Every structure is written in C-alpha cells, then in structure tokens.
Structure 1
Amino acid sequence: MSRVDYCPDAAMDAKHRKTLPCADERLDSGLDSLKSGEYALLAEEMESLAVDDARTDVHGLEPWKQQVTEDGDTFLHLAIIHEAKEHAIKMIQQSQGDLFLNIQNYQRQTALHLAVITEQPELVERLVKAGCDTRLVDRNGNTALHVACKRGSMASFAVLTQVPSAQHLRSVLSFPNYHGHNCLHLASINGYLSMVEDLVQLGADINSKEQCSGRTALHLAVDLQNLSLVHRLISLGADVNSLTYGGFAPYHLTFGRQNSEIQQQLYEKTARDLRLLPESESEESDEDLPSDDEYDDIHFGGRLSPSH
C-alpha cells in the first residue's frame, strides 16, 4: 500500500514556464484497473469477505482492508470506481477514523479523490465525516478540492468546503498543485464563475499567483479571453495592477488578442505608469552589447588567446 503524501508548503520554482495550463493533469486513475469480467469476480469476493461481518485476522484487521490490486487500489477504491455504493458505505462505516480511509493507490489517489472524480457526493460526505484527510494529494499534487475545482463538481465542492465545518479548508485553498495552480486558478482556467466567486468568499486569495509565471486569476482570465470572468474577478476585487514574474499586468496580455472590450476595460483601470509594455529582457541596444575588443585580453590556461 502506498504511503501518504501531503501538499508541499514550499513554492515550486517554475517562473519560466509560460504555457497555459502548465501541463495536462490526468484524473482517470483506476477507472480501467480491472479487465473485462474481473469485476464480477471481485463482487463475488467482496460478498464472500462479508464486509458487514466483524471478522478480523490475528492482527485485528478485516481481510478486505489488506487486499490491493496491481494498481494499488483497495476494495474501497474499487467499490467507488465501479459505483458499488452499498459496499462502499459499509466499508466506510467500519473504518471511522481508520488510516485505511487514507490509503493511496499508485496514482496517489485516495478514496476521496475517486469519489469526487466519479461524481458521488454522498460518498464524499461520508468519507469526510469518517475522517478521510482532505489534505492528501494525488500524483499531480491535487487535493480532492483541487479535483472538484478542475471538474466543476459543485456538489462535491459544497461538501468539501462545508462538512464538517471545512477543517483545513484555508490551508487547502492556498496549496498549489505540482503545476503551480491552486483551487482558484483551476476554477478560473476552466471558467467556473460561480465556483470562483464561492472560493473568494471562502477566503481564497484572489490575487494569488500561479507558480508557472506569476499570473493571477485575472491574468488567466485575460489569457483565455473570458470576458465574463474578467468582469467577475474585477468586481470581486482583483488587482488590475498585479504583475507577473516577467513584469506584465493583465492589460499587457490583451495585446494581440481579439476581445477589445477586455482591453478597453483594463486600460481604464490600469495605472498610467503600467500601461506601456515592459521592454523585453532579450532586447538589448547595440551599445549594451560587448564589442569584440572587450575580449582581446582573454587568457586561456594562463596565456593570452591565440589572437595575441
């Protein structure tokens, strides 16, 4: 069984990655973990293990808690993946406060991640109430809430931000995944306006910078030419003068883009001294470039270069 990972507190040093999004994130783990016909056999085995029976082995563990597939999925993972809801509920009920709930498969997904992916908010709620750790991350650094924000899963989002009293919520909201995006960035990239508003109201920093290039949610909205999202973020208090690591304000990202309304709105709100595009770091004047003469006295191995 795989070990448990938590979101890193340290920021990723990814200033120079300019693409949007930084990388594709895979969220289909385990869904094809069983070959054709194997699920029927699994169901029979689950029945034979009598999940509702309190049988334990010499170590005090139920047999179904000890078995995993070649993909690292437990019986609980598989019950969720294949929507065997009754079996999943029984296992959750018998695992209150048990570390079994936090076992991660080989893609580092917990049962909670899979319940969000498979759109089963009732199981999400049961898992959270039973003690499943909402801070655990998958192989891409996503908590279950990150996954809900990327997929637009409002029902699971509501559970993860409200039940029970959203323990650890503030820290989860600030966590960047391994691509540098926090929950607000993911919701913005995917255009979920109501989720963006909810996240800000829940305490997400509207001006937090993604770690690929230092863009805020407003930068991302401009980059994606999402006029509605630009309006919503500005109304929620987004800083129009926030700069990326390269020194670009959201207004600068409107150049060469088609939506003139976004450009006009940001022009009016951007500080006057920020309206001009910053000079490219790669553009240097001729006088700034070294001349050949500057290298005349270069020594190699203690001797002057051959030109001398």
Structure 2
Amino acid sequence: METVALKKENWGTHEGQEVFLYTLTNALGSELQITNYGGIMVSFKTADREGNFADVLLGKDSLADYLKDNGCYLSVIAGRYANRICKGQLSVEGKDYQLAINNGENFLHGGAKGFDQKVWDVTEEADQSITISRVSPDGEENFPGAVTVSVQFTLTNENEIVLEYKATTDKTTVINFTSHPYFNLKGEGNIEDHELTLNCKYFTPIDETCIPTGEIISVKGTPFDFTSPKLIGKEIDADYEQNRIGVGYDHNLVIDKPLGEYGLIGEAYEPASGRFLQAYTTEPGVQLYTGNWLEGDMGKNQTPHIKRQGFCMEAQHYPDSPNNPHFPSTELKPGETYTQKTVYKFSAK
C-alpha cells in the first residue's frame, strides 16, 4: 500500500480560531487523527495479528465533545507543566509563584486553562507529519517567561507515532510537557488483561494528595514491579498503600537509562488481538495511569467510558520537580532549547 497524502478537514472553531482534524496514513494502512485543538490525538487505527483494524486510542466524537468536557485529558498535550505541583506553589530564581489549584489542593496539567485547551498554530504539514506550535505568553497561568513551543507528530511506515518537542523561553521558567494518550490495544473493554513490562526499577511514592513524598524507592517486592511481564490487573488492587491512594496505578516511575538519553520506557501486549506496543523517550520518568477515574466520561459513539478502559504511559519529568531539588530539573533558561522525543511503536505478534 502506498503512502496516502495528508487529509485535512475543518473541525469547527474555538474562540474565533479555526480547528482542523488531520488524518495521517502510513504504508501499513494505519491511520492517526490529530487536531490542533489541544494537540489531541483523536484516534489511531492499527491492525491486529489477523489484519483487522481497531481504534486503540480513547477519545471523543467531535470538537464540541472535547470542549464540553475533557477533564480526563484524553490524548492531549499537557503543559506548560504536566502532572502535579504541590499546592500550586513554586519558586523560580528566588521569586515565588502561585499557580491554579485545580486538582484537590494541588495544580495539575497546566492549570485552569492549560495547553490542552488552546488552539495551536499549524506550522508545517507533510504527507505523514504535522507540526503545531504556540507562544505561551509571560504570566500565562502565572508562570514566568514567554515560552515558544512546537510539537511535531509523525506517523512512520514502521508504525511509530513520533512526537518531537522543542521549546525556548525569554525568562527562566519551569516546563514539563507530556502527551496523554489512553491506550486500549483491544479497542474495547478494560485494560487489566494487558501484559505490561516497564524499564523501571524505581518509583516515586505519593502522599494522600497524590504529590510525591520526595522518596525514590525500589519497585522490588511492590505491586509496581513491572520489570518482567505482568498483567496490569494482577496487583492493581493490592493491599498496598500506594495502590489505595492512587485507586490503582497513578504514579511516576523512574526510567532506567542515563538522564536525557533516548531509551525504552516499556512494552504492552494484548494477547487476544496480538497487538504489541513499545514506548521510548528522552524523558527521565513515565506516569503510569490506569484510567481509574474514567467511569462515566463520554467517549466515542456517545458511549460512556468504563473504569480502567485505557492505560497511559506519559513520558515526562517527575511530578512536583520544582519543589524537589534532587529530582531532575525542569528549569529552562533563556538561550537554552528544551527538546523531547517520545515514540509509540505498534506491531502484532
């Protein structure tokens, strides 16, 4: 099958800006849909071992549905700071900043109106890739510095979804970007029967408000040990304080590779379909989230999601890094360029 040219359709408007839906298709017939609203990956259709295609990404039917409610952050680009910051408080170069409190008593995924709720500019279109960008002005969500960020999405003929980020700032600031796709390699049902392996020997435990305690502890002897293949559901409801707090898995794990280097996050396998997912990144951590709060959220075909219908491997820096100096730094200074490469590679066996 030859490469199909990029398909672009008008998907509506938001705050006077045009929103488009892009469809990328590769030589294997896989199809990735992306919108420039929130940098959302709307769907990804790929084959199982028998050659049958299914959509393995959770999402919604229309722009109107995403605008109505995307509190689960389905497949968005989260920023300017992904994940949580304790009580929304941080200090940059000796100056204190108070961010939005939008997750219990803490800040989460960019604040009251993060990158997931913005219409991005589309700066490049090609057969199998698009690039979106935006300038986050100084003071947006009370962060210092005007940050210019771009994300390129590519669907390769090797069945990889490649995300490449770049960012610069005019003042010292903190940034942490992630893509938040929920995967279900069956395309339906819950994900507890997926087999997961993570290249992670350590994780960062959390307190009752889901903020890291600052510890970095071994996964050995805990339900967080995915160093060899294990069903996601095997220990998800274990009698273990961290699982109780997270209502399953909602934790940052430390990827076992040198800081800043590109390497394996982990692998997921769904035995019934044979679909196999390998994830790679330059980031130091991965947030494993098992869709513990999805129940009732409206999905595609106007069908409510069920609890644990999708799992996330969000490549990122550790949560609350600005308040934990021993965590890898999320600081970005003028003259520096932030880069990230994260890849989700699909096959069947």
TM-score band w.r.t. shorter chain: under 0.3
Based on CA coordinates, which of the two structures has the bigger radius of gyration?
Answer: 1
TM-score (norm 1): 0.20
Whichever structure has more strand as a proportion of its residues is 2
**Greater helix share, structure number:** 1
